Structure 1
Amino acid sequence: MRKDLIPSLLSNSEETHTKPISGTMLKDRIYVVDSKTRKLLRFFSGIQVTKGLKEKRKITYTGALSKQQYKELMKKLIKDVPILASLIETLVEGTNEYIAPDPYKQFFFELSLTSPVVGMFQIGGDQKALHILKQICNNEIDIFDSSMKKELSYLQKRAPLLCNFIFDLKERSGNLPIKALAVLDDILKTIVNTFMSCDTNKEYSDVASNQLSFFPTLPTVHGKRQI
């Protein structure tokens, strides 16, 4: 039966919402919102992923940005993500190539995707992992100290990409650069806000039950939402 052809049964069951549900918009879940900026950031990472034989992912390494592309990337980042712009500016300072150094390639590539950052680090609901990361960003702990063995092991299991990035930074420069930690701390805010800003059910009334319900014999658990 088509519900749209029986309007008499729908008079009390339809509702419209003009207010978007907080936390469900893509722009609230990714770190670099603008698509053109993400594309330039992906080029800057030096990594491209294409589909090869049998649709398998093929990773290739590209060349550096042109000077004009770099200026465009920095202009966009200074406006939208100044903390990331500051880090990138430091990385290319004194060099003649506009491309991410090895420890940052995979990290910047992941940030350039449309995937939410909660999927990148996978610690969104883990308060212990979030607390460890926050301490690292604030320089409150030395995660590589022997006394932090349990915390490091825990973080490795929960966020392997994050740990690989931290290990590479440590191996390259002997410490964790302040500006890199500032970017991690800024990303941490996006991870936390993804869950903290979600609306509760109280703003959405339940849909009145009718004879055309999918499970008319079961009680209503939650009304429908229109997004």
Structure 2
Amino acid sequence: MKNFKFLGLIAVVVMLIAAVSAFAVPADSAVMHFVQDLGLVSSGSTMLGMCVSFASIKNKCGANPGGTSELYIINKVDVDETQWPELGADGVTYAGPIVPKAGKGFAKWDFAQDTGDFGFTLSGDPGSQSFEHTVGVYIPRFNPEISKVYKDLPNAEIIAVKIDANGQKIVFGDLQRPLTPKLDYKSGKKFNEKNGAEFGLTVGNNHPPYFYSGDIPVVDVVAPAV
């Protein structure tokens, strides 16, 4: 009998948590206070499933060029995790710089003109949607110097900063959700065909990529990292 009472109590608690998560329960309501008193939800918790009102999107006049101009990448292990920047007041721009560890820095990867892009898509089943971020460039040629860089790509965890044609710096990947690299090199079959690699980076996340206003410290690595 005691076991049945205990199971019944668990069922009630589970239903309360589900109700608080599924509906916008006021923070000062009796239900919310009861769940908080049980220690199941803190007063500062953000409940999953709580809806927010949308802001307006307004059209702006002026140029809006496509494409990207620069790509900078860094291995996650080379980032000082203790100084990862917080988001600013707008909630979509990092308020501080990404700080590499001593002696480390971003690598600037040149790519063929008009081949760099980035994107993000929202997809998934209802109730389980998320964003997928993608970064892509075409890197011409294949030589020993480029091969030294490529050989360190397998299973790398990458954070990237892309500069678009409007001069905006945008960050892809973070300490919890780094980018996964993809590479597809083709020599071409004919003399006048392209000889190079399609390089891409992907990651899933719960938000679009964040903007960045900090510096991008670059360190040219002479030898491949150990």
Greater fraction helix: 1
Greater fraction strand: 2
Q: TM-score higher than 0.5 here?
A: no
Q: Shorter-chain TM-score category?
A: under 0.3
TM-score, normalization: structure 1?
Answer: 0.21
TM-score, normalization: structure 2?
Answer: 0.21
| Greater relative contact order (CA < 8 Å, ≥ 6 in sequence) | 1
